[in-house]
Amino acid sequence: MSTGHFRRTHQQSRRALKAAPQAAPRHCYPGAVLLKVVAVWHVLVSMALVGLILMHSGRETGLGGMGFTPQSQGGTHIVERNLTRLTIVVGLLFFANTVLLFHLLK
């Protein structure tokens, strides 16, 4: 085989590589998987927050009206206080998750 034949074959293969379509990257940017996970977590936290807020209500409704607590005032007060604490924690999680989503989408 001559050197000219090798040069032509090499040039043809280089042209074929240049003409071949490049495979699209699997993710458009590095944080795509993290964004999906945080978005799903945001939906779950928001549904939990809505549920907890709906459990809070006036004096005759809410947890006491739904039958989740004993009829005595002491039991209702403790459960309502714990519900308030849980709502605050989930609200803070929602806020932190919203800030994280903002920075991921920026």
Considering only CA atoms, which of 61, 52, 39, 57 is closest in space to residue 88? 52
Asked if residues 30 and 78 have their Cβ atoms less than 8 Å apart, the reply is: no
Percent of the chain with pLDDT over 90: 40
Report pLDDT for 31.
77
Question: pLDDT tens-digit profile of 39-73?
Answer: 999 999 999 999 999 998 666 655 555 555 555 55
* Mean pLDDT, residues 13-31: 61
Contact between 7 and 66 (Cβ < 8 Å): no
Q: What is the pLDDT of residue 80?
A: 86
Q: What is the predicted pLDDT for the residue at 56? A: 85
